[in-house]
Amino acid sequence: MKTTDENKPILQIRNVSKIYRGKGNLFRSPGKDVVALNRISLDIFKGEIFGLVGESGSGKTTAGRLVVSLEETTSGRIFMENREVTGLKGRSLKAFRRKVQMIFQDPYQSLNPQRSVYDTVSEPLKIHRMGNASERKAKVKEILKAVGLSPPDDFLFRYPHRLSGGQRQRVAIARAMVLNPEFVIADEPTSMLDASISAQIFNILLAMRKDLGVTQMFITHSLAAARYICDRIAVIYRGNLMELGPAEAVIQNPRHPYTQALIDAVPKFGHAKEAKLYGTLLAKRREAGKDKGCIFYPVCAVADDAICPRKKPGLTPLDDGRMVACFREGSDPEQTSFLPHVSNKGV
Amino acid sequence: MALLEVQNLSVGYNTRKGCLKAVERVSFVLEHAQSLGLVGESGCGKTTIGMALMGLLPPNGSVKNGRILLEGRNTLTMSEEDKRHFRWREMAMIFQAAMNALNPVQRVGNQIAEAILVHNPSLEKEAAKARVEELFDLVGIPRERITDYPHQYSGGMKQRAIIAMALACRPKVIIADEPTTALDVIVQHQILEEVRWLQQEFNIGIIFISHDISIVADMCHDIGVMYAGQMVEFGPWQAVFESPAHPYTKALLSSFPTLVGKKSDLTPIPGETPNLINPPEGCRFCDRCPEAQPACRTTRPEWVQIDETHRALCCKC
């Protein structure tokens, strides 16, 4: 890790679950509950870029929305700088939102087509009553320049339809950055963009960390993107954390069979022969009891039938600074989080 | 004789602001059972080429110039009747956004059977049904899902159904337009493996259209790199990706994050793609090109043969 404040977690997630209750139907039996996140615990340290990697439906976006309090946790607690954010309301929620911002996935939908770039980027300043009109304008220009929309005067009064996808996403980043947040969640910020434009966005995110020290949670489905920009990554599968550790270590030497299956599936771009094949994915899924055992057991080719279908492995630290939830790697059956308890200082 | 030969293909779209030159003077050859990848960023004309090959351009689009030869026959001069015959039976397409390519109010099996029956009117319904079952086995969808509706399928299954439909009439050429873009990596991997196997099994020539260079590098023998409506580099994948000649290919490669190999800094390509209604006079990439010379602005680049099979459209090569 590159950060100096290595031991200072800025964000602490403890045993957080999110269950979407099925509404059911008047004429049918009640709907099914969807477990989007299952008892997730993790720490994000000051100044790092933390990657949350998973496939669609794995709960990675839900995790981001819970952290910014766009949704409420079903159980568990989230702390930002030792202050509990779960259940914040009113003024304290507004103060919290000044420090934590989000960049959404689709810049074609996250910008209001009827508002100019200036309207969009200055709105957070207005909401938080910062500066007068001319100060706000100066701040907006400064931030537009920082995200590479220069000269800013060219862009101030443009509407989204006159911006390309990459420019729109930069406006979205500017909107998130204008309040000088301490923590930014970027939810798949480049999945709608071309490779050459994605690289621009990655570099802006890296510069934000370097110049302003902004801690980031980078949500992505692409291990390659995570490798490029993240210090540490967590791999999430159907709402459960499977592996967490330094990005390069997890990608070059994955220890969880699911991470290994993911790496197997990524096109190796001409390196197919050199790449090691783990072969941990079962071709045909096997039957497994519900809600018991490891979530990956039904498709895991290296599972131990004696224990994997019966108990859930807990995320357990290994010797090399990473954590894995797999009995093969010596995980304990699920227990309470091994991460330190957080005392709430209150707001 | 080559399976498919495209010579000097130009396609334009009529718009209110004038003719948008979406594809200009593109040539390539696809041999039997080979695969060719067309890569490039959005708006570079790769889907337009696919649509032109199928004869499915939208009403405001038309082929301005060039020839498309399928086993020597020019498909552009065919009558509508012949075209309908050739489409799907000789050349089929896996459309982008498979999520929306199926009719939501028809059972999946029926849709595929319809494709078979339309193109083989003499076929008995029972025979078509048997063929659909066979296709479902081929692409790995359980037979009991034949009578399901598309919404009951997962994304990967819909994609498989679309591939089954493309295979329905045993075409010689399949155009796969971003076949796995909306899918997760594990499902993408399974489908690409499936396609690779089917290609070998049935000797199909495949044109892969994708913005993801790692997929085409894995799947294709030859690569054509597209930029702003032109093909700028063409050759075997090792040549194009390991010793790229055109500055755009180089720039594209260095902006692409990879999982294997050394982790290096990504360099984005500055600037934006040119307007194709009034494309620049000289090289279309010169505004963003780190190696551009004053002459690049005014002179049209010509093809340069790097070696026998590898060529680039750049006056600096």
Over residues B239-263, mean pLDDT? 90
- Does residue A222 sit at the B interface (CB-CB below 8 Å)? yes
Chain centre distance of CA B271? 26
Interface of B with A (CB under 8 A): 41-42, 155, 184-186, 188-190, 192, 211-215, 217-218, 237-238, 241-242, 251-252, 255-261, 263, 266-269, 272
pLDDT range class, residue A1, cuts 50, 70, 90: very low
Ranges of CATH 3.40.50.300 domains, chain A: 9-110+181-252
Over residues A150-178, mean pLDDT? 93
Query: What residues in B contact A270, CB-CB < 8 Å?
Result: 217-218, 237-238, 241-242
The answer to whether B62 touches B6, Cβ cutoff 8 Å, is no
| Domain range annotation of chain B | 4-220, 245-317
Phi-psi region of A15 (alpha: psi -120 to 50; beta: other; left: phi over 0): left
What is residue A90's three-state secondary structure? helix
CB-CB under 8 Å, B237 with A223: no
Whether A5 shows a pLDDT value over 60: the answer reads: no
Q: What is the spatial distance between Cα B146 and Cα B58, in angstroms, rounded to a whole number? A: 31
Give pLDDT, residue A67: 93
Pairing of strands A323-324, A183-187: unpaired
pLDDT range class, residue A347, cuts 50, 70, 90: very low
Whether A264 shows a pLDDT value over 50: the answer reads: yes
Query: What residues in B contact A267, CB-CB < 8 Å?
Result: 189, 192, 212, 214-215, 217-218
- What does the pLDDT look like over B57-96, one tens digit per residue? 999 999 999 999 999 999 999 998 888 888 989 999 998 7
Q: What is the spatial distance between Cα A95 and Cα A78, in angstroms, rounded to a whole number? A: 16
Chain centre distance of CA A104? 11
pLDDT range class, residue B179, cuts 50, 70, 90: confident
Of all residues in chain A, what percent carry a pLDDT higher than 90? 64
Give pLDDT, residue A50: 97
For A266, the closest of B211, B242, B259 (CB atoms) is B259
Query: What residues in B contact A199, CB-CB < 8 Å?
Result: 255-257, 266-269
Strands, E assignment, chain B: 4-15, 18-30, 35-39, 61-70, 73-74, 91-94, 173-177, 205-210, 222-227, 230-236, 303-305, 311-313
Whether A289 shows a pLDDT value over 80: the answer reads: no
- Give how far B284 is from chain A: nearest CA, Å: 16
Side-by-side strand order, sheet with B303-305: B91-94, B173-177, B205-210, B35-39, B222-227, B230-236, B311-313, B303-305
Give pLDDT, residue B315: 83
Phi, psi of B81, rounded to the nearest 5 degrees: -65, -45
- Give how far B295 is from chain A: nearest CA, Å: 25
Supply the ipTM of this predicted assembly: 0.84
CB-CB under 8 Å, A272 with B269: no
Q: What tokens were used for A322? A: 């990473």
- Give how far A320 is from chain B: nearest CA, Å: 21
pLDDT range class, residue B190, cuts 50, 70, 90: confident
Query: What residues in A contact B238, CB-CB < 8 Å?
Result: 270
Q: What is the spatial distance between Cα B236 and Cα B42, in angstroms, rounded to a whole number? A: 23
Give pLDDT, residue B191: 87
- What does the pLDDT look like over B259-287, one tens digit per residue? 877 778 889 888 888 889 998 889 999 99
CB-CB under 8 Å, B186 with A272: no
CB-CB under 8 Å, B263 with A227: yes
Query: To 5 degrees, how large is the angle CA A14–CA A216–CA A105?
Result: 100
Higher pLDDT pick, A347 / A272: A272
Query: What residues in A contact B213, CB-CB < 8 Å?
Result: 195, 269
Interface size, chain A vs chain B, as Cβ–Cβ contacts under 8 Å: 103
Chain centre distance of CA A228? 15
Instruction: Tell which of B266, B273, B287 to mutate to test the A interface (max A CBs under 10 Å).
Output: B266
Over residues A225-232, mean pLDDT? 94
Whether B309 shows a pLDDT value over 50: the answer reads: yes
Whether A169 shows a pLDDT value over 90: the answer reads: yes
Domain A9-110+181-252 class, CATH top level: alpha beta
Query: What residues in B contact A223, CB-CB < 8 Å?
Result: 185, 259
Report the CATH number of the B4-220 domain.
Answer: 3.40.50.300
